Chains A and B, each alone.
Chain A
Amino acid sequence: MKRFLKKYYLEFAFILPLTLYILGFTILPISKTIWMSFQDPTTGRWGLSVYRELFRRPDFVRSIFHTVVVTLIELTIQMTLGLLIAMALKQDFKGKGLARSLVLLPMGVPTLVAGVALIYIFGTQGYLNELLFQLGFIKTPVYWTSGGIKSLFTIAFADSWKVMPMVVLLFLAGLESIPSEIYEAGSIDGATKLQSFRHITLPLLKPTVTMVILLRAVDVFRIFELPLILVGRATPFLATFAYDEYRAYNNLHASAAASTVLLICIILFMYLYFRYVDKGGAFGNGK
């Protein structure tokens, strides 16, 4: 033991601050939040009273529903569009550099700013309504952010715009890791473009797909800034609900319970994904 310490003291000294920080400022607060959510605010007794109270409130149940639905919509949009754009950018064409820069542009826009820019587009007097009006699709303005399924799609589009660069970059990296010899072999065997996409690109891209889905799903479940700015309290999400409970109503325990539910949603999603969609997925294959 002593020899072990002597040999590795430098490594320990190096890793120690990071470990302590993560323990003290991430693990401890999370445990505290979970702890708080099981404590009754008035009597201080243990139990599920906070949760019972919460699940009786329709806006909380709606916020769970909104969070899950937006995640599903977003993943669908981002997977299809992201892969499509990445495959387009992999081709050689004139003006590729410019197209690439423009696609990566949203990365240079802070999420909050993206929210502001999208207010101007999705607002009642915004540019989307004007465009649809000019094209003759609508006569009266549509209230995109007033709640309901429209608002969910608005949020999903807004967030997808913001994160598209990251998704495209991940897919590009994945596409580039597929050796071109496989495609050549495929075309010698007479595979059409569609066939080689179905039987070469998709299977070999599976680790990337898993990676993108997990990264994105975790982020979308926690979505906070965009709903706060774009739709406010009309369409609560789990994160904005937790914030409102704390700041507006000073309901610490309810806020903690909402965060815990959010954490459970994320864990549940990952579990279901690995159990049913990707057995032994990318984390296993990657090694």
Chain B
Amino acid sequence: MASKKIWKKILFYLGIALICFFMATPVYILFRISFSIPEEVLTQHPKFLITNFTFKHWDQVLKSGNLWPPLRKSLLVATFTMLSSLVIAVPACYAISRLNKRLKYIIVLSLFFTRMFPNVGIALPISVVFLKWNLLDTHLGLVLAHLIEQLPFICWILVSTFETIPFDLEEAAMIDGAGRLQTLASVILPVAAPGIAVSAMLTWLNSWNEFTYALYLSLSTRTLPLQIYYYVSRGGFFQQAAYSTILAVPVLILTLVLQRFIRGEYLKGAVKG
């Protein structure tokens, strides 16, 4: 009996180890390639462990001058997408969260359905129109396009954030003579601040990673994801690893920071109404 239990435990740990191995390996390989010398990985039998490493590819990437323009564009677009989505979504979500349950449910559900539309179907007419408006290759154009995806997303999180704030809190402030806007600014927003911060960071990340709209709306300038795609389609074996690492680092750091806050409930609570 006891030995059976031990076997079960060993099997369990083996399973866990296997899962962890599968989840971590691709990331490890990516870092590994960006540091490795060509003879080790560009062969029939690539080596798994790092025996020899070089900063050559990193040096090339940093000195080539191809890094800064896309990096700048990605940073600017992500930041402005985050700010404008907050400006549009925070008041709207507050208002939605105070509606009656049925109406709220309908709105949240229709937000979900806008996410159902294929991106390529939205990006096509958008890129045709932006060509007319001279918005291709501009930061503004890309921010406008990223908002399409990010607004429903941020609203999901924000509605469920505002919902958790009891109505009594507002009433108390109003009885004390605060106006509605004043109540919102000095009572509601501070309480909702953590949720707003999390949603803002997630929006920033989504925009930083976004690829489809950037691909449709860029002709000569590139964002970081486009730069990676450029090297993939050209077969820049080491550049793609280095650029991928650059793209992934802020994401990894932010997700580690946010890990405690990202929960399934965010996605779930919103839909369950």
Q: Which residues of B contact A218 (CB under 8 A)?
A: 115-116
Report if A125-B117 is in contact (Cβ < 8 Å); known contacts: A117-B29, A173-B265: no
Residue pair A242, B120 in contact (C-beta under 8 Å):
yes
A102 touching B20, Cβ below 8 Å = yes
With A and B bound together, what is the CA distance between A229 and B233 in angstroms? 8
Residues of chain B contacted by A246 (CB below 8 angstroms): 120, 124, 127, 216
Q: Which one of A21, A108, A112 contacts B228 once the chains associate, using CB atoms below 8 Å? A: A112
Secondary structure call for the B interface: helix
Shortest CB-to-CB span from A242 to chain B, Å, is 4
**0/1 per residue, A32-61, Cβ < 8 Å to B?**
110010000000000000000000000000
Q: How many residues from B make CB contacts under 8 Å with A?
A: 91
Q: Is the CB of A116 within 8 A of B117?
A: no
In residues 124-156 of chain B, which contact A (Cβ within 8 Å)?
124-129, 144-145, 147-148, 151-152, 155
Chain A residues near B7 (CB-CB < 8 A): none
Would B268 and A22 count as touching, CB distance under 8 A?
no
Chain A stretch 39-87: residues in CB contact (< 8 A) with chain B: 85
Asked if A262 and B121 sit within 8 Å, CB to CB, the answer is: yes
Question: Nearest B residue to A224 by beta-carbon distance?
Answer: B212
For residue A207, which residues in chain B have a CB less than 8 angstroms away from its CB? Answer: 272
* B83 close to chain A: CB less than 8 A: no
Determine which residue in B116, B215, B225 has the highest number of CB atoms from chain A within 10 A of its CB, and name it.
B116
CB distance from A32 to the nearest CB of B (A): 4
A286 and B273 in contact, given A26-B148, A103-B19 (Cβ under 8 angstroms)? yes
Contact A120 B30 (CB under 8 A): yes
Q: Name the CB-closest residue of A to B209.
A: A110
B95 contacts A161, C-beta separation under 8 Å: no
| Residue from A14, A228, A238 within 8 A of B94 (CB atoms) | A14
B231-245 toward A: CB 8 Å interface, digit per residue (1/0)?
A: 010000000110011
B172: interface (CB < 8 Å): no
Cβ of B248 within 8 Å of any chain A Cβ, yes or no, is yes
Q: Which of B52-60, B62-70, B163-171, B249-257 is the contact stretch?
A: B249-257
> Quick one: which of A109, A126, A238 contacts B252, CB cutoff 8 A?
A109
Evaluate contact between A33 and B95: CB separation under 8 angstroms: no
Q: Is A235 an interface residue (CB 8 A)?
A: no
Do the beta carbons of A252 and B212 come within 8 Å of each other?
no
Residues on B with C-beta less than 8 A from A30 are 117, 121-122
| A111 and B30 contact, CB distance less than 8 A | no
User: In the complex, what's the smallest C-beta–C-beta distance from A7 to chain B, in angstroms?
Assistant: 11
Question: A85: which of B19, B29, B271 is its contact (CB, 8 Å)?
Answer: B19
Report the minimal beta-carbon distance from A137 to chain B, rounded to whole angstroms.
15
**Would B124 and A99 count as touching, CB distance under 8 A?**
no
* A22 and B151 form a contact (CB under 8 A): yes
Residues of A within 8 A of B228 (CB): 112-113, 116
Within the complex, the shortest CB–CB distance from B54 to chain A, in Å, comes to: 17
Q: Are B119's CB and A130's CB within 8 A?
A: no
A106 to B259, CA, bound (A): 12
Of A104, A133, A141, the residue contacting B255 (CB under 8 A) is A104
Interface: B109 (CB within 8 A)? yes
- B94 CB contacts on chain A under 8 angstroms: 14
Contact of B116 among A22, A161, A229, A266 (CB under 8 A): A266
A229 cross-chain contacts in B, Cβ below 8 A? 229, 232
A-B contact pairs, 16 of them (CB 8 A): A10-B180, A17-B88, A18-B88, A18-B92, A25-B148, A26-B117, A103-B19, A103-B23, A105-B27, A116-B228, A117-B27, A127-B48, A239-B119, A246-B127, A262-B121, A282-B272
- Beyond contacts A25-B147, A166-B267: 10 other A-B pairs, Cβ-Cβ < 8 A, are A19-B92, A29-B126, A32-B125, A99-B19, A102-B20, A110-B209, A127-B46, A130-B46, A141-B44, A173-B264
